[in-house]
Amino acid sequence: MAAAAAAAPGALGALQAGRARLVAACCARLGPGWRLPGSLTGPRVGPAMWARGWAPVAGGSAARRGYSSEVKTEDELRVRYLEEENRGIVVLGINRAYAKNSFSKNLVKMLSKAVDALKSDKKVRTIIVRSEVPGIFCAGADLKERVKMNPSEVGPFVSKIRAVINEIANLPVPTIAAIDGLALGGGLELALACDIRVAASSAKMGLVETKLAIIPGGGGTQRLPRAIGISLAKELIFSARVLDGQEAKAVGLISHVLEQNQEGDAAYRKALDLAREFLPQGPVAMRVAKLAINQGMEVDLVTGLAIEEACYAQVHSPGSERAGCPAGGIEVAKDSPRRRARAVGASPHRPVPAARGQEDKLRKHLHKL
């Protein structure tokens, strides 16, 4: 019966084989030393090389804000590695007060450089994205800079903004957007790329590009529907509506809403509380949990459960000291997704064209762990 299902041509056979292939790739690409869930013997060793290539702002964890129009370009993004009880938390502070924290070529370049260093830093546990400017989170692309560009420069510039937002979305550790002010267009797209969003009740959020006769170009048309649902996302994009913190909480755009304080950093303080709550948890478990959720949301439920099973096996098995978990075997249930995939006769060694795109995506993310 199983052999017949595996040999049967058509979409069903390809889907079944593709699902098994996808899960096999999820297991096999966890990096040097990682093992398939079906082979639970011997120690596992993760990637040995981790670089810390970004220096904190001078002065350690002390908060610094700058509101002058004379801000130097190197101060447009402040990267702070917090210390003491907050060790492991990194704060990315945008500081372009004279341009409402809008994306310039320089800011995009600095963000990309910072993210590139953070994604390979094993000591980083949680990243907070915030503004160093009161009343502003990020106002999207710098339109004043953009009007000075040649038409041939606009497309590549938008592509770079999209790329850096995607890089933030693909960071392996939890990310929190602290929205203490205006987050419009690309600013909201930046927040949407983070795992968790918190905002002050006075904050303003919206994808307003249709007012300019364009559409969101930094992932907004894809991430907003995934956050709040397709119909409501269409309504907000079609109308270019701007929501305050309470309205954003009501539609599920943010997780927490706070009354703004005198310092103007209520959302940041809440984000810091959340990050502290994450710190005691197993570092590898946090990364693998994020991966399982993100990848599982892109596939059907059965495949998603198989991805979860594969990820679970990597943090709870003999020799799992790296994850800080007690050693112990895993018994695979008779009706588990992996057994069901095997039952249809799909071979993880035979690629299925329909699954290759998703498999390549998994390989890219899993290899970083």
Active-site amino acid positions: 141, 186, 189, 209
- Partner residues linked to 90 by β-bridges: 81, 127
Are 315 and 308 a contacting pair, CB within 8 Å? no
Q: Of 252, 109, 91, which is closest to residue 177 (Cα–Cα)? A: 91
Are 75 and 94 a contacting pair, CB within 8 Å? no
Q: How far apart are CA 36 and CA 211, in angstroms?
A: 51
Q: Of 101, 78, 72, which is closest to residue 90 (Cα–Cα)? A: 78
Could you list the beta-strand ranges (E) of the chain. 77-81, 89-94, 126-131, 136-138, 175-179, 182-184, 196-200, 204-206, 243-244, 256-258
Provide the token pair at 153. Answer: 């420069």
Pairing verdict, β 89-94 and 136-138 = unpaired
Provide the token pair at 54. Answer: 């970004």
Pairing verdict, β 196-200 and 256-258 = parallel
The full DSSP string for 238-288 is HHT--EEHHHHHHTTS-SEEE---TTS-HHHHHHHHHHHHHTTS-HHHHHH
CA 169 to chain centre: 3
